[in-house]
A and B are shown apart, each in its own frame.
Chain A
Amino acid sequence: MKSLLTAEQIDKVLDDLAGKIVADSPADTDIAVIGIRSRGEILAQRLSGKLSERLKKEVPCGTLDITLYRDDLNSPQGDAQPQVRTTEIGFDIDGRIVVLVDDVLYTGRSARAAMDALIDLGRPEAIKLAVLVDRQGREFPIQADYAGYESDAEPGKNVQVLLVESDGKDEVIIE
């Protein structure tokens, strides 16, 4: 096990992501942040806090459960039985620029599922993808608009994002 990012570095990466998003957003755009359960949810909350501060307005934050949209749902090779949880988005996504947040972008399959799930909720002006760790190994033609730490971890390694809210500490590790 090796540490890739410390708590401080995670916070700095999130600051950088927030900076890039703000630089990209004209003052009159309606931005919303939506995190993919479970780690993306926590990161989205932190990011929306940072964005609200910088833009001096409330940037709404929601949570997306993508279980029903996963492509391995009915495949025996898929993960052990996934648990369906709630999607909690308390605002209309129509016409907004939605920043989709996840902890690690790897194969691109979660991001694909998340986009399909989002489109069933409405028609956003645009969907952007922001990730804490951008790991090589894409299986779908999907790239992040805002990528934090870039990892070239070999296949078979496990890049894990630990967060205070779910794991008791902030750290990114590789096993």
Chain B
Amino acid sequence: MALRKGKQFEWRRKHLLGLRDLSVDEISFILDTAEGFEQISKRAVKKAPALRGKLVVNLFFEDSTRTRNSFILAASRLSADLINFTQKSSSVSKGETLLDTARNLEAMGIDIVVIRHDAGGAPAFLSRSINACVVNAGDGFCEHPTQGLLDVYTIRKIKGTLAGLKIAIVGDIAHSRVARSDMWAMTKLGAEVIFVGPPTLMPTAVDKLPVKVSYSLDEVIEKVDVINMLRIQFERQSSNPFPSVREYSHYFGLTVERMKKAKSDILVMHPGPINRGLEMESEVADGANSVILQQVANGVAVRMAVLFLVNQAAAKT
């Protein structure tokens, strides 16, 4: 076809393991592709035949509602077949290794594995061991690339671009793979990222990351265009990183009072699930600046784009 003769970007990765290694062009290409998928969820027949006859496996070794359902929806809307696999109801609880589980699934003819695992690097390990495409749905404290992508997609959609924006990521940075994927995507697209939280919730060697660090939300709140409030992950904390929940809320919660100091068009984001009243007051979570539910809706379009692209890369090579 005539239009194809010009040089255009070509996506070549059959795995999406993280955003750290992606180029600006690759990230932008995923976001552009996602725009084409967004309308499918809004029309009469909410389905397109792009992955017809392909088998997608959701391999979740950690609890998840949002991400798992979002991938289920994304795969369904592309007409793929789907196997849902959770640790509790599988042979993993009988001692099967990750590799054996994956090889057994591969024997069933899977095309794409969506994996969440509490060990960082598990998706990369899997991608070296099997032939199917691998999509990381969260590994340890490393990355959660589709969350990072849907966050920048949401910001780009509203603000037009990320270049020049100041973005605060607040709270439990140390335990957050979302913060890491966000950081890579946002800084690559030209935004300035500030990690905000108590020193006990900062990752080690944070000074080696391309971010600024602040221990005071009050100092940061007036300056930023976007604020992403992370969930306090009680289930991952072995020690007590702050004296009390009340004290944490007092210093780092996004309250109605604090919002008064923010820019009037600040975007309030949260990867969910929200601890209402802890990192964010309900009035803020449900307020006019909140784009939390748009994040959820955009997540489906972004995941459709990712599933589509990795499968394309596998089909064309």
Interface residues of A (CB under 8 A from B): 38-39, 65, 67-69, 73-76, 78-87, 103, 116-117, 119-122, 158, 160-162, 166
Contact = CB atoms under 8 A, between A and B. Distances in A.
Interface string B306-317: 001001110111
Contact of A86 (B39, B78, B316): B39
B316 A84 contact: no
B36 A81 contact: no
B36 A85 contact: yes
Contacts of B312: 73-74, 81-82
- Most A Cβ at <10 Å: residue of B1, B32, B54: B1
B43 A73 contact: no
A78 to B, nearest CB: 7
Interface residues of B, number: 32
A156 to B, nearest CB: 15
B48 A81 contact: no
Given A79-B4, A121-B45, A161-B2, A84 B315 contact: no
A68 B49 contact: yes
A74, A76, A160: which has the most chain B beta carbons within 10 Å? A74
Interface in B34-71: 35-39, 43-45, 47-50, 54
A121 to B, nearest CB: 6
Interface string B17-39: 00000000000000011011111
A83 B48 contact: no
Majority DSSP secondary structure for residues of A touching B: loop
B44 A166 contact: no
A121 B43 contact: yes
B5 to A, nearest CB: 9
B45 A80 contact: no
A86 B35 contact: yes
A4 B39 CA distance: 38
Nearest to B315: A74
B36 A67 contact: yes
A79 B50 contact: no
Contacts of A119: 45
Contact of A81 (B1, B3, B305, B316): B316
B89 interface: no
B50 A73 contact: yes
A166 B35 CA distance: 21
Contacts of B316: 76, 78, 80-81
A5 to B, nearest CB: 14
Contacts of A117: 48
B125 interface: no
Contacts of B317: 76
Contact of B39 (A78, A87, A158, A162): A87
